[in-house]
Amino acid sequence: MAYASPGTDTSTDLDTDEKNQMLELGQLVSLTASDSGNKSKDKLGQKALRRLAQNREAARKSRLRKKAYVEQLENSRLKLSQLEQELQRARQQGIFIPTPGDQPNSTTENGALAFDMDYARWQDDHNKQINELRAALNAHASDDDLRHMIDSIMAYYSEAFRLKRVAAKADAFHVLSGMWKTPVERCFMWFGGLRPSEILKLLASHLEPLTEQQLASIYSLQQSSEQAEEDLSQGVRALQQSVAETLASGSLCPAGSSGNAADCSGQMAVAVGKLGTLESFLQEADDLRRRILEQMQHILTTRQSARALLAISDYLSRLRALSSLWIARPRE
């Protein structure tokens, strides 16, 4: 059976089959006509008709098989195209999708992959906790029940900070870049997460009415958070400047070298050592986020704390939804 691509027109095959059948019939009829005996003519004529019927049935079955094969190829092509699009969207959203050929070949790659998978599971479990808290708040659950759920969610945030701390030891740049987040989330990231002062602004606008004392406490907390954020940002800028100066310096490379990493191994070692401090910056940023969340629990009432956790979760959900809309936007 000849191979047929999805775009192959089968009309040519049909014409060829008919031509072959007519040619064969003509040959048989010619043989019949050359026979002088009526008995032989009748016998050959019946044989020709049977042969023609068999050829037509064989051609019909062949066309059906070819049509089914072409349809199977087309369906497979469409499924493959859909899978490729889904895979592309997932990768654009920052989700690591391993393929059979993906074999992590270093501790860094193993650590990043493990963190991506652990964080995805953490996100699913966290969403379940948030949904339970939302349902309890809407059902006017008691403060004791709400406090128990709030404490559970706060403990789960601590688990997220632990996962990030382990990931930062393996690959600080992976956590810093936010490749485990969606594109829009990465746009709003600060040192591997939300900026604490922005969280405070978000909560202040969603928790009204607040008492004067609560407003004053939140404002003071916001001021101290912004100062701590600026200190960390200055520290990273100083680190970037130091690494840039190290790489630009030629004093560590031997005379006559080409300037590549092998020739400047001492220079590279100094730069790598400086970059190692990124892990501590990520740790300090998460410590600041954790302190802000904990202090907010002391400032707010139980029900306000519940609403605060819902507001944070809803904000992140909107960022992820916005990322999906951005990826799916129509393009000219």
One DSSP character per residue, 200-225 reads: HHHHHHHS-S--HHHHHHHHHHHHHH
What span, in angstroms and rounded, lies between the C-alpha atoms of 20 and 13? 11
Domain that holds residue 289: 107-249+263-328
Tell whether 187 is covered by a domain: yes
Boundary (domain end) residue, out of 94, 129, 151 = 94
Tell whether 2 is covered by a domain: no
Same-domain pairing of 127 and 237: yes
Q: Which residue reads 């690494």 in tokens?
A: 243
Using CA atoms in the order 284, 289, 291, 296, what is the torsion angle rounded to 10 degrees? 170
What span, in angstroms and rounded, lies between the C-alpha atoms of 299 and 211? 10
Which phi and psi angles does 133 have, rounded to 5°?
-65, -40
Looking at the 3D structure of the chain, how many domains does it have?
A: 2
Boundary (domain end) residue, out of 29, 61, 94 = 94
Single-letter amino acid, residue 182: T
Tell whether 35 is covered by a domain: no
What span, in angstroms and rounded, lies between the C-alpha atoms of 100 and 284? 37
Single-letter amino acid, residue 148: H
182, with CB counted inside 10 A (0-12, 13-18, 19+), is: buried
Tell whether 149 is covered by a domain: yes
Same-domain pairing of 138 and 279: yes
What span, in angstroms and rounded, lies between the C-alpha atoms of 73 and 77? 6
What pLDDT is stored for residue 1 in this prediction?
A: 38
What pLDDT is stored for residue 5 in this prediction?
A: 43
Same-domain pairing of 68 and 112: no
Same-domain pairing of 136 and 89: no
Tell whether 226 is covered by a domain: yes
Tell whether 40 is covered by a domain: no
Of residues 192, 196, 199, the one with CA closest to residue 288: 196
Same-domain pairing of 130 and 184: yes
Q: How far apart are the first and last CA of the chain?
A: 42
What span, in angstroms and rounded, lies between the C-alpha atoms of 196 and 226? 8
Same-domain pairing of 274 and 205: yes
What pLDDT is stored for residue 144 in this prediction?
A: 96
CA atoms within 13 A on the CB side of 190: 19
- Determine contact, residues 239/215, Cβ cutoff 8 Å: no
What pLDDT is stored for residue 207 in this prediction?
A: 87
Same-domain pairing of 200 and 223: yes
What pLDDT is stored for residue 104 in this prediction?
A: 45
CA atoms within 13 A on the CB side of 82: 6
Same-domain pairing of 90 and 113: no
Same-domain pairing of 229 and 305: yes
Q: DSSP characters for 177-201?
A: HTTTS-HHHHHT-SSSS--HHHHHH
Q: What is the mean pLDDT of each successive set of 10 residues along the chain, which is 332 residues long?
A: 44 53 56 53 73 85 84 74 60 48 54 89 95 96 96 95 93 91 92 93 86 94 96 95 86 53 72 92 96 94 96 94 90 76
112, with CB counted inside 10 A (0-12, 13-18, 19+), is: buried
Same-domain pairing of 119 and 82: no
Same-domain pairing of 188 and 71: no
Of residues 325, 271, 303, 261, the one with CA closest to residue 136: 303
What span, in angstroms and rounded, lies between the C-alpha atoms of 84 and 63? 31
- Determine contact, residues 313/232, Cβ cutoff 8 Å: no
Same-domain pairing of 75 and 135: no
What span, in angstroms and rounded, lies between the C-alpha atoms of 39 and 32? 10
* Beta carbons within 8 Å of 201's beta carbon, 6+ residues apart: 222
Tell whether 31 is covered by a domain: no
Single-letter amino acid, residue 303: R
Boundary (domain end) residue, out of 94, 128, 156 = 94
Tell whether 102 is covered by a domain: no
What span, in angstroms and rounded, lies between the C-alpha atoms of 70 and 93? 35
